[in-house]
Amino acid sequence: MLALPLHDLPTRSASGFLIRYVVPRTGPPQLVGPLDRKALFSTLAVGDAIIGVGHGDPARFSGYRDQVLLDVSSIPDVRGKVVVLISCQTARQLGPALINAGAASYIGFLEDLVWVMDADSAATPWSDKFAAPAMMPIVNCVNTILDGKVTADAFVVMTTELMGNAAVEEDDLIASCLRFNAKNASLLGNPMARVKARPKVAFPLPPPPLFPFMP
Amino acid sequence: MANAEWERLKEALRKPATPEAMAEAAQRFREYERVKRLSGKPGSKPTLVSLGFRKDYPTQIAVRDIPGELERNPAFFEQMRKIVGED
């Protein structure tokens, strides 16, 4: 399952990269924009992975317009699933709670996930050159999982690419954000967990239409 | 590619979040931004964002507005300390 809200600049930036580079490899359910709601998220247990973008804190992960989708006190059936939460701080409590509830593996962040984006790219977030050094390592992590490789490999892809991008980044603020994210990335559960491999997609596909951005 | 202005900003962010330290950090960030603009690396509308949930600091702020927020918001100062000051 993919949960990809688009209601503000950070969700639009992160979801935009996944919509461009991950969604074409996956099947439904894909909860994009206004579809990323608690009522749908909680009732859909199909699939072997949950990949979500959303605002978060130690105990909660949210969807469209910050509806809480996952909470340590009410975890849906995640048994055997690989969970990737592109969010803030969920590795502190929610990640461990997901593993305790039977998730095979979890990747997320202990602190805020921070990056610099170009607000003028909100209509085509995947073309944002400021955000790419932070978002492409996350995209490549998710795609490594969808290649059928173990989550430990995917985690290494993400952290190595974040640090590599920081090393060559000329903007100090962007570089600090990249190192901060790499330092706070977290892998919990079984590092040998994997999902069924999805077919690779030859890029570039035509970019998808997005819900208009209405700040 | 750290420069002297960036290093001075990091030092300012390592101080306790007093009004004086916050004002100093804001000034250091303005100086860093000025040097960056002069070095010919302007952006379209660079914006610092995060996926924090119901925070005491903005989860999206234009980079040009960072000094003002550093000056008035201790929670944002602390967040910038974690990202930049402890880098």
Min distance B17 CA to chain A CA atoms (Å): 19
Q: Identify all chain B residues contacting A169, using CB atoms and an 8 Å cutoff.
A: 1
Mean pLDDT confidence for B15-37 = 91
Q: Which domain holds residue A99?
A: 2-189
| Whether ipTM exceeds 0.85 | yes
What's A102's DSSP letter? T
Burial of A67 (0-12, 13-18, 19+ CB in 10 A): middle
Q: Which domain holds residue B12?
A: 4-85
Q: Is residue A204 part of a domain?
A: no
Q: How many domains does chain B have?
A: 1
Give the Å distances, CA to CA, from A189 to A99, A117, B79: 6, 31, 29
Q: Is residue A215 part of a domain?
A: no
- Residue B43 is predicted with a pLDDT of 59
Alpha-carbon distance of A20 to A40, in angstroms, equals: 22
Q: Identify all chain A residues contacting B52, using CB atoms and an 8 Å cutoff.
A: 55-57, 88-89, 112
The mean of the pLDDT values for chain B is 90
Q: Is residue A212 part of a domain?
A: no
Q: How many domains does chain A have?
A: 1
Burial of A205 (0-12, 13-18, 19+ CB in 10 A): exposed
- Residue A27 is predicted with a pLDDT of 79
Cβ–Cβ below 8 Å for A56 and B2: no
Read off the pTM. 0.93
Q: Is residue A207 part of a domain?
A: no
pLDDT digits (tens, 9 = 90+) for A162-172: 999 999 999 99
- Here the CATH number for the domain that contains residue A50 is 3.40.50.1460
In order along its 215 residues, chain A shows pLDDT tens digits of 888 898 999 999 999 999 999 998 887 888 888 888 887 777 777 789 999 999 999 999 999 999 999 999 989 899 999 999 999 999 999 999 999 999 999 999 999 999 999 999 988 999 999 999 999 999 999 999 999 999 999 999 999 999 999 999 999 999 999 999 999 999 999 999 999 999 888 766 777 777 677 66
Q: Is residue A100 part of a domain?
A: yes
Residue from the list B2, B6, B48 with its beta carbon closest to the beta carbon of A116: B48
Alpha-carbon distance of A173 to A169, in angstroms, equals: 9
